[in-house]
Amino acid sequence: MSYDEDRVYRRMFRREALTEIKNRMLEKDASLESSAFEEVFDKMTLMILYELMRRGAFSDFHGVISAGKESRIYHAKNEEGEELAVKIYLVNNTEFRKNRMIYVAGDHNFQRVGSSLRKFIYSWARRELRNLELAYNAGVPVPKPYTVEGNVLVMSFLGVDGVRYPLLRETSYTADEYAALYGLVVEYIRRLYKDSGLIHGDLSEYNIMAPDPRTVYFIDLSQSVLRDTPYEEILLMRDLRNVSRFFASRGVDVLNERELFVELTGKDPPSELTPI
């Protein structure tokens, strides 16, 4: 095959690959209209998805789990039938950087991205994989991380047969059952801090799953910060306060969050929770 013929072949393959992945996603995602597809997914993202499928990271999509302005999460499976979540950060969201600077302060991985939004989002996706690995390896219940490529993160799916587990805010348990869940959440905050070296940074009833009164999972760890980084104390105190607020509203006799902060860190809690 000549050089020119090879170039033609590669261009044809690229077009076919993009068309195939687009058709698969439109077939599985009823919330996404064909006319708006290119506004949501650029060609680079489609090629990343196609390459991940070619490598066996997952075999096909089976519907959308959640769709927001910053990312879309799809239910998928691999060749072994394991249920997966494929999180795709949307690179055309110009608002993505906003409200994230306190989370990336002190993170050297973001010092080289410059003004490139794509590079920022790629670094953010890698950061989420790193945080999941740190938490998972320390025994904190989080989605099992598998791989990241560009703006696409592959992890285990928390649910059964494509139906995700309920968020804590969606549950209806007794006061005693909430008390048991509260004990688990506090223990995993402690383990996340001491064993993983992480602060969740946005922990609340919206980022905790509770499929039953004896089980919890922490999700959305992309904004989690390492210990000894700027704002870590403020973010930890916010997490403790959010958790206390929710469980107190469910009749649980919660711990004093300031005393819990001292127990975890050996430091006095911050007097002000507004970082900037």
Catalytically annotated residues? 202, 220
* DSSP character at residue 204: S
Residues 48, 154: Cα–Cα separation, whole Å: 12
**Ordered alpha helix ranges (H), the chain:** 3-28, 37-40, 43-54, 101-104, 117-137, 175-194, 232-249, 257-265
Residues 274, 73: Cα–Cα separation, whole Å: 31
Of 258, 194, 260, the residue nearest 227 (C-alpha): 194
**Angle ∠(110,144,196) on CA atoms, nearest 5:** 60
* DSSP character at residue 166: P
Burial class (CB in 10 A: 0-12, 13-18, 19+), 125: buried
Look at the block and give the residue holding tokens 């789990």.
65
